[in-house]
Amino acid sequence: MVRTPLTEDQRDRGRALGQILRAARGPRSAASVAADAGISLDTLRKIERGAIAAPAFFTVSALAATLGLDLTDLARRLEIAESSRLAG
């Protein structure tokens, strides 16, 4: 199965998601957050730097729960980041 390449907008959204999650992690170690979310440290690092631009829903959900983020709030933050990017 051939995967459709991501658009630049999708990559930008992935980078914004990574920045939001990294900020929410604060001083906690990436290893601790990854373990608590049930994902690998490598996966968390890739998400935080935007290398995984479209992580699976359950991965994002597990990270949000671990970081105390509401998924609706996370979606709003992504919309704000996208609006700011388009306006700038």
Residue 39 lies in a domain: yes
Residue 53 lies in a domain: yes
- This model's pTM is above 0.85: yes
**Confidence label for 1 from pLDDT (cuts 50, 70 and 90):** confident
Residue 81 lies in a domain: yes
Query: 56: closest CA among 69, 37, 80?
Result: 37
**Confidence label for 75 from pLDDT (cuts 50, 70 and 90):** very high
Domain that holds residue 42: 8-87
Residue 77, CB-side half-sphere exposure with 13 Å CA sphere: 17
pLDDT tens for 7-31 read: 998 899 999 999 999 999 999 999 9
pLDDT tens for 29-61 read: 999 999 999 999 999 999 999 999 899 999 999
